Chains A and B, each alone.
Chain A
């Protein structure tokens, strides 16, 4: 459908009350035309529909030294399409220092979830930008040191008032250094001085949980320094980029928004023919398909390289292809141009059934929601079929030119991560071990024999610096086996533990097939004679093997030791946590009260015991924080 027709269709769907279909058509419109004028149309329509849609509210404050107003409708439109209802607060021009330092400024009462600090070299270090050739080496260094010290003190100040995420734009390089070619030949160089600031900003982000760098310099470079600016716009309205480039900065912000709001894909399902290689394996055969280091096969290798990078980032790969399984397997195993091998794929559906059905099965096999899948297929008809039958899947549109494929995947914001734990990098092998476990389960008839044969070890430890990232990650993305679905940032977790009121434990599970990694989190709130479980969650891949009972048994022991006579816990139902619904009653808890939010369960520790299953061995480690 072309744009005017699509707009009429959207108006018709809104009038008929079909919010879900209207929302899908708005997404289609935005995919076709992400312009400033569509942005206003799309945001206005979503504002009408928001009450009927399940959108994630998110509050973003932007502190800035330049005009960003025209970008906001575009950012909000992109967010709406991704299922995020974004409220944006803009600071006054150049008021960012006051906003950060003054607890009474408009920033903190707004209670932002995230804050963007959009400043640039020419505002924060005008002498480095403009007057570099007049400066001595010492002057230049002292300027950049001052800038870095400022940033350090702002971050410190920000953290005393807010636990929000903070995204800092780094410093742009000039298109023409003041000293021309001499710049890179000298020991004191403008380029190196700005680079030093950017390196220090990365260090600052690494030292402070929840602080991230947006590589503004790389963004400008990617789109061409000389194409980026419209100097007249800067001089007249303080907009530091041409109208044609506004959406590039919006996209860059959006790349942060997805991991921050959890709107990410955990698995990417790929097609084979004309996607992973050129041509059709069943017709062209091993020697006929295009795949290798030279043109035209190199385009497909580039895509495979991009997929390998996702695999390293902890994103699962799966295959969904209409093919004869023997033909496809032969190419996957033995084609010399393949960079991906069968071991990189956590699930495979190579058959002739429809792809929507296959995707449902893949999600089930991988123990993730259908909404955690992304789908990559060169065939627009397959994409349309998946879009219409499974609107929650992130369908990636590929252009006809395979040379573009890798770039499209690399630009896709649902694959962005802001932190990476050891578990993420190992995820592929966990799924391989899981397949072996399933095979064992089928050969053993009694469940107890199966549990015993697994030789499970549960390693429980208090929150440590090393596990903080993973614990916060689990708290933010675990939906199914999660009793309360409370989301905590790294900074919040540290603050809770430091208060002494809360205890936070992680659970790592090993068995004869390998290490499952850190897969469970519990947070307790200890008061005089009650220990309340604030948070209890576990990754679905270890549920059903009784380690959840072992973990709860440990918590009962912890409660007893701290003098409690009751262990309590809420079950707060969501659309996704049905698997955890009967967890407390199954372990002997009695209901204490029930309200619209959920039910509070309680176990009398004087009367009841909660033994650990004999086939799970528990080890308790010491922490470095509590």
Chain B
């Protein structure tokens, strides 16, 4: 036992948790300060009067009261983005190409998990399930989603990317986009043939829809309940666990060392006796596992999935990966959290700050203008190091 404990690298377990905490708190504080300052400025204008008329509070109070909820929402979606972004970033780190099929791998994970739960539901197992069993089923669904997505990611790499490894960088990229479309339509076809449904609904069971209430805040005429739903907690906790596990795998194990070696220099790594193909497959497997789990968690949080469900989360996770510095794992984590937070803040406050002229429908503008700004002013991303082009 002692021997075993000695071999665990505790630093690598604590470090990512610390990072996540720093990033979460940091981005929450930054965004909150911006929102509050904006609110204070706008309070003096006609917009403040408008809020006063509608909600009977000042814009500043409105902003402050809604703040905790917005931060929680932002964190939840931020961790989902981070888990998907890691899949992009790991593949980029090793192969230097963007695996655009990753969004469909995420979707496949979601579908396998949800279909499994729907099957359980129609067998009548879910409705009477006790709380521990409900969690066991959810865990099982997540594992199945991970396995399917991981297996698919490895297969896609073997079939669509490995034969193109010597080709110019554009070729596997196009292949990835092709695979992405193919998988979308395969999901559509399979669902169409087997269930005849386009939308699949995450079944209701366990206490996931319940809400832990922190308290009520009076705001003008109405009261706002503050709280966090059980499923948001599940999403955040599972994502944190996975990210810690991934960080440990990459930074504190022999396999991780091999992955880093292949990322640094593929041919030299193979000279050192590392089986490069196997490590690349492993990278895809790990990315796929994370993507699949993120898929099931996404379905849990947002209830409804369809064959194109992967597109937007995938695109945003890709943005998150670029924002943080593609190829850099800490960067993907930071990028995901910042992007989720930014998007939720924009969506929640824009409508009020612009008197409904530009509501939450425009929240994606922020996500993608960030992508453009980063590409212009800091192409290597927030945490990435500028590296010369590899031959």
A and B pair up: no
Residues of chain B touching chain A, judged by Cβ–Cβ distance below 8 Å, are: none
Residues of chain A touching chain B, judged by Cβ–Cβ distance below 8 Å, are: none
